[in-house]
Each structure stands twice: as structure tokens, then as C-alpha cells.
Amino acid sequence: MSGTETETGKRRVALVTGGAKRVGRAIVTRLAERGCDVAFTYLSGESEARELQNTLRQSVRKAFAVRADLTDPLSAVAMIGELIESEFGRLDVLVNNASLYEPDRLGDVALEQSRRHWAIHFESPLLLCQRFSPLLRQAGGHVVNMLDLLAERPRPEYLTYCASKAGLWNLTLSLARELAPQVTVNGIAPGAVAWPENFPDADRQKYLGRVPLGRAGTPEDVARLVYFLCTGGGYLTGQIIRLDGGRSIT
């Protein structure tokens, strides 16, 4: 995806899951500002999703917000697939960003919660890649999976969250081989780029004390990297980029 239009003059199309808020919103905005038509999913945040859709429609030809529960992969992927095929007929970029961040420890793990984590972090990205692989191959497209440093350094109080992100990490490597040579597949493992709500200031400072660059990241840092991977990163595939200000080396 070296530009915003194909050799036939058609605009390139990006799909971002979990695109109404925080990091996802920054990714959607970046891709749209650079000329892509966009579709993005949301679950909560109806007002944010509609506001973003309406804003984007003032600057790009097509922008669609679709409510989809990616903890129910089969129905969600079917709905998303119908939208992309009917409204766009092509797909150049798939960003698997939707996430669920719920705590659980070994003593209180419930299968229902564990399955929600695996559904949104592993099964939905897998099924979206399966559904859209023909379009992505045809377009010479790009897949970016949003990971987490906790996939490598798990926190026991977020047991199944960390394990499911590790599953997506491994899936990224397999998909890169499966979809080559037409499609690149990479992962981004951010450090702190959007603090959880009510995250204690003392804990923030403790974390930042181990970041060589001395600051937290931003959603825009992530969005710029996504855009690079979908434009200038054509010879990168199967890579997990730790976007953490150096935290992973300390």
C-alpha cells in the first residue's frame, strides 16, 4: 500500500476492529487522514462511534461504524464480512485491535471469562483473516495485530488476558507464513500508550522509571507505526515490534 489509491484509481480500504476509542480511534483517524476509506467496529461507545463516522465522512468518501461483539466471533465476522463485501468490495488493511482487559487469577478463573478473552484476541482475528484472505491477497494487503508486552511478561492477576494475547502473538507468526508472499502480517506490542482508567499515579511513575525514553507512549505513536507497516514496511512480515520506549530491554 504505497499510496491511498490503487493503480486503477480506487481508494484503498482499511478495517479496524475496536476503532471508536483510544488507540483504535487514533489508528482509524490516521488511516482516514492519509486517504483510506475505512470501516471500524465498536461494541460500547455508540456516541463516540457515530461522532467519528460523521467526522470522517466529511473528509473521505466512505466511512462506516459497525457494532460487532467480537467475543461472539462467528456472528461478528459474518456481519463484518457482509459490510466490507457489499460496501467496498476490497480490503487492503486489516487491523485487529479490539480487546478485553479483565483481571483474573488462578484461584478465581472462570471458563466463561477465559473464553471471552480467547474469542476476542485469538478467534476473531483468525476468522477475520480467513474471511478476508482472498481480498487481502488480491490487494497485496497488510494485517496488523495489536498485541501487548504482557504476552511476554505476563501478570498473574491478568492470567487469561495475557495468555490470549500470547496466542495472538504466535498466530501472527503463523499467518505471516500462511499469507505470504501477497500479504504482510505483523504485530505491535505497545507499552503504556493509554493508561487504564483510575491507574494510580504512583504506579505510572514507577513504570516510567524503567522506560529509557522517559515517557509514556501515545495512541498516535501506535497509529503512525500502523501506517508505516501498511505503506513503507512492505519487506517486513512476521515481526513483533515492541513499541515501548525501550521498556522491554530494562
- Quote the CA–CA distance of 125 and 167 in Å, as a whole number: 11
Instruction: Please indicate whether residue 227 is annotated as part of the active site.
Output: no
Nearest-angstrom CA–CA distance, 12 and 32: 10
Phi, psi of 39 (to 5 degrees): -130, 145
Count Cβ atoms below 10 Å from residue 15 Cβ, excluding itself: 29
Please identify which of the residues 161, 207, 227, 235 carries the catalytic annotation.
161
Strand 184-190 relative to strand 142-146, pairing:
parallel
Report the interhelical angle of 124-139 vs 73-87 (nearest 10°).
Answer: 20
Give CA angle at 179 (240, 154), nearest 5°.
30
Q: How many CB atoms neighbour CB 26 within 10 A?
A: 23
3-state secondary structure 210-227: CCCCCCCCCHHHHHHHHH
Residue 13 and residue 94 in contact, taking contact as beta carbons nearer than 8 Å: no
Any idea which residues carry the catalytic annotation?
A: 161
